[in-house]
Amino acid sequence: MTRLSPVVLIVEDELLLRMDSAEVVENAGFEVIQAANADEAIAILTRRPDIHVVFTDIQMPGSMDGLKLAHFVRSRWPPIKIIATSGLVRIEDVDLPAGSVFVSKPYRGPEVVAVLRTLTGSA
């Protein structure tokens, strides 16, 4: 019995936060891939064509932060939906690709799951 669950890529440098979010999202019926930074995320996205949503933190170390990653993803793989999160900036101050969703930290599991369900049409 195969179940085609939407695939979510979670990009977050804080390990415990990433693990917690991954568990919550998996328990809600999604397939989860994890990346610790933008470089890892791009490597994964290049290998796997089946990712539906990228859920990324904005403040991350490395060559790109989450904002640049979001724009990169939109330009390379336009169909992929994007959720961005941050505890520092506010929605008014960020310039996300059109159709992206912003969630401010601290976010609650059910909140993120609800957004994922809307974005993947599996509400």
26 contacts another protein (rule: CB under 8 A): no
Selected from 15, 43, 91, 114, the binder of another protein by CB under 8 A is 15
111 contacts another protein (rule: CB under 8 A): no
What stretch of H or E contains 57? strand 51-57
* Residue nearer to another protein on the CB measure, 17 or 44: 17
Quick one: which segment of 9-17, 41-49, 63-71, 110-118 binds another protein (CB under 8 A)? Answer: 9-17
Residue 62 CA to residue 121 CA, distance in Å, equals 32
Strand order in the sheet with 31-35: 31-35, 7-11, 51-57, 81-86, 101-104
String of DSSP letters for 70-111: HHHHHHH-TT-EEEEEESSS-GGG--PPTT-EEEESSPPHHH
Q: What mask, x for binding another protein by CB under 8 A, covers residues 48 to 87? A: -----------x---------------------------x
Residue 51: φ, ψ to 5°: -85, 125
43 contacts another protein (rule: CB under 8 A): no
Q: Where along the sequence are the contacts to another protein (CB under 8 A)? A: 14-17, 19-21, 23, 27, 59, 87-88, 105-106
